[in-house]
Amino acid sequence: MASTRFSFPRAELRRRTARGVLVNGGFLVVVESVTIAQNVVVARLLSTSDIGLYGIVSVTVMTLLTLKQVGIDEQYVRQDEENQELAFQRAFTVELILSVAFALLVAMLAPAIAAVYGSWRLAPLMLGLAYLPIAFALQSPAWVFFRRMEFVRQRTVQAVVPLATFAATVTLVAAGVGVWGLVLGALAGNLLAAWVAIRSSPYPLRLRVHGASVRRYARFSWPILVAAVAGLVIRQGQVFAFDEKLGLAGAGFITLAMTLTQYADRADRAVTATIYPAICAVKDARSTMTELFEKSNRLTAIWALAFGAGLALFAHDLVRFVLGSKWEPATVLLQVLGVTTAVHQLGFNWTAFYRAVGVSRPQAVYALASLAAFCAVPIPLLFATGIKGFAFGMFAVMAAAFGTRALYVKRLLPELRLGALIARAAVPAFAASSAVLLWRLADGGSRGGTEAIAQVVLFLGLYVAVTLAQERKLLGEVGGYIRPTPVVVPPVPGEGAPA
């Protein structure tokens, strides 16, 4: 029997989910590779001060946009209303109203941000990004494909932004436009993506204001808003603190660290973006939810811990051979934040499981605990001891966040053994990192470019080998779901088979 939520039988859910992970993972690998390439090219072509200027503006704008991401799309995915066109249009209406309000907020804050940082070059840059909330809202037809688990169509729409932005940004920056190349490149990418989304939308975009729907979205969304505000304080606070302590160059250092370490969560994004509709479909079966949580986090840990350990081991080589010596002060930030961000990803998708059952308040508590630790430890250490103090102070934030997360995960999924899950995930990273460190210890730690590449190869080779040995059963299960199902054609009477 076909599911009322999906166009395929419910028995196909596991297979569709596994294939969706492959689609989303492939999408993110391609897109994030393009984004990393863009960031590296821009870092080479622009000065640290230009990167710092754009870092202040982009972190401010994107963090404000985080406030707008209050779960409208996830609540839309959760619902099972009979008229899906009407349900989408009501959700789109709420999203567009919020987007217009936030676009105006970004524009109004531009002079204030310039005054706070003491640079009036920031105001026009920020005004140049004020359109982003509305452009994102116009890309909301991708929600429909997400709810249906039609991931190829969803990702085709979403791939337009990074690909078009890369082409425009690199061209403009190389042509000497400077920091404005980043702003105009983002404009080109997002306008093209909005056009593609509207053209491919299964439903026409209509404004449908419905009081009951607005109240339902508000009840679901306010804790997510609180969490977003806490995230705003953390993200903007660290940029502001670095600017106060070290000037625009300091803002550039933390911006670079934030830009690179954000890639630790890409596997989680691929997996969670795939399984969320499936969680919503099985939200009444806690044993199935526990299985989904465990297996999804074992899969995402493969990437997250490899990225974090790799960045910690090779941050110095990245700065020395790729980014340039001007970024040397950011090395310790890359090393420590690489580790803390990777560990932060273990069990990171727990909020998706709570939201799937319609409970979003724990996310607010979790965010406030992280904010309290951030204000109490790394910020004071930055002003007292400098960059290293801030970097190591982030371990306290990691501990507070992880402790809160463990408490709520146990409450929702009491059968889950979170400690065993974490210990298992750490084995490949520990083995691969130990081999590289022993090599460095044996040769005194000095190395050229060729030796650095050889150590990267050793790290990746050992990590993959240990992961394959440890997770062979899980990877085989996922591979079984991904492989095409053979079609058995019954014999035709009269061709050697009985009728």
pLDDT tens digits, one per residue of 177-208: 888 988 899 999 999 999 999 999 999 999 99
Strand locations in 166-297 (E): none
Confidence of residue 1 (pLDDT cuts 50, 70, 90): very low
Q: Is 176 helix (H, G, I), strand (E, B) or coil?
A: coil
Q: What's the rounded mean pLDDT across residues 308-329?
A: 88
Q: Is 82 helix (H, G, I), strand (E, B) or coil?
A: coil
Q: How far apart are alpha carbons 353 and 282 in whole angstroms?
A: 10
pLDDT at residue 497 above 50? no
Q: What's the rounded mean pLDDT across residues 328-356?
A: 88
Percentage of residues of the chain with pLDDT beyond 70: 95
Q: Is 34 exposed, middle or buried (0-12, 13-18, 19+ CB in 10 A)?
A: middle
Name the more confident of 146 and 478: 146
Confidence of residue 413 (pLDDT cuts 50, 70, 90): very high
Q: Say what the pTM is.
A: 0.76
pLDDT at residue 488 above 90? no
Lowest mean pLDDT among 46-60, 316-330, 357-371, 472-486: 472-486
Q: Provide the residue ranges of all domains of the chain, joining segments of one domain with +.
A: 13-209, 256-482
Can you give the pLDDT at residue 498? 44
Distances (CA, A) of 20 to 192, 215, 277, 482: 25, 32, 11, 9
Name the more confident of 21 and 351: 351
Q: What's the rounded mean pLDDT across residues 247-272?
A: 81
* Ramachandran bin of 445, using left for φ above 0, alpha for ψ from -120 to 50, beta for the remaining angles: left
Can you give the pLDDT at residue 484? 62
Residue found by looking up tokens 């990393």 in the block = 36
pLDDT tens digits, one per residue of 78-128: 888 889 999 999 999 999 999 999 999 999 999 998 888 888 888 998 998
Q: How far apart are alpha carbons 33 and 25 in whole angstroms?
A: 12
Lowest mean pLDDT among 24-33, 58-67, 486-495: 486-495
pLDDT at residue 32 above 50? yes
Name the CA radius of gyration of the chain, rounded. 24
Q: Work out the mean pLDDT of the chain and round it to a whole number.
A: 86
